[in-house]
Amino acid sequence: MQRLALVGANGMLARKVRELVPAGCALAEFDLPDFDIADGDAVRAAMERCRPAVIVNCAAYTNVDGAEADEPLAMRVNGLGPGHLARAAGEVGAILVHVSTDYVFDGGKTTPYAEDDPVAPMSAYGRSKLAGEEAIRASGLTAYYIVRTSWLYGPGGKNFVETVIRLATEREELRIVDDQIGSPTYTGDLAAALFALLDAGANRAPFGVYHFANGGETSWYGFACEIVALMRQLGMPVAARRIVPIATGDYPLPARRPAYSVFAGDKIRRATGMAIPAWRDSLAAYMRARID
């Protein structure tokens, strides 16, 4: 891997991808306002100049509820943009790594989702992310990894962990949804999984769609309880005395969320040999690093 193009380079996941770029690999960073993934001509020209061996796409419109009010914008970024990158990757001979989401599923299962389970997004955000996957497949590019993930958190971005930490220092009571089940995922672990798929030479994983999330499952309520417990263990200030479990219907939002979006990790484990950290272990490591 001589050159890697990191698209969406200012985002939360990109921060961890940047940290793991192999020694000797030249990194080229692309993001707004100088680079617009939705501008096909600009994407093609930029990749032609850069001529990367790998393109990692961390760019996304991630405002899940905002997408309900502006689905065309979400579609431009999440739907059209990955197709532009895929066509550019084909022209320069690059591998494309694209990050997708659990929101492409309807959450109707009660067992972990495999990569070939039927997709059925329930929100504008989910539809836009599925459109991006379909655009990559329709581009004719075969050298791609689509990696779906869930409940992402990490340094340098807005996420559930940071929201709970803030609220737990401000309020005596937190009311958190308890009937949506998923797997919290640390950006550092996801970034490591992306590079595990890209491992050089004969060890490179077969191209295609993969699921990656940290091991185990919980609800948003269970996630919040673990965050606050760790805050107390680490001596962080905590005002919250009660964490109250509530139903999704008690906290209505514009976009529908999957009730269940746990991923099966068998495929990526077989392809890479990687061990997938448990979500509680990764959360604890993140919280400790946060105060160091």
Query: 0.85 exceeded by the pTM?
Result: yes
Q: Answer yes or no: 210 catalytic.
A: no
- What domain range is 204 assigned to? 3-157+185-215+262-277
264 in Cβ contact with 112 (< 8 Å): yes
CATH number at residue 146: 3.40.50.720
Place of tokens 């032609």: 48
CA 220 to chain CA mean position, Å: 17
Q: What are the beta bridge partners of residue 209?
A: 146
Question: What does the pLDDT look like over 10-21, one tens digit per residue?
Answer: 999 999 999 999
Angle CA(273)–CA(89)–CA(120) in degrees, nearest 5? Answer: 65
User: What percentage of the chain exceeds 70 in pLDDT?
Assistant: 99
58 in Cβ contact with 6 (< 8 Å): yes
CA gap 48, 252 in Å, rounded? 45
Q: Is residue 252 part of a domain?
A: no
pLDDT of amino acid 201: 55
Q: In what order do the strands lie in the sheet with 26-30?
A: 26-30, 3-7, 54-57, 95-101, 144-149, 208-211
Please state whether the peptide bond connecting residue 237 to the residue before it is cis, i.e. omega within 30 degrees of 0: no
Q: Is residue 152 part of a domain?
A: yes
Question: What does the pLDDT look like over 91-123, one tens digit per residue?
Answer: 999 999 999 999 999 999 999 999 999 999 999
Q: Which two tokens stand for residue 156?
A: 């340098």
Q: Does residue 173 sit in helix, strand or coil?
A: strand
Q: Is residue 236 part of a domain?
A: no
pLDDT of amino acid 1: 67
Q: Is residue 256 part of a domain?
A: no
Q: Is residue 255 part of a domain?
A: no
Catalytic residue among 113, 125, 260, 286: 125
CA gap 173, 238 in Å, rounded? 11
Q: Is residue 206 part of a domain?
A: yes
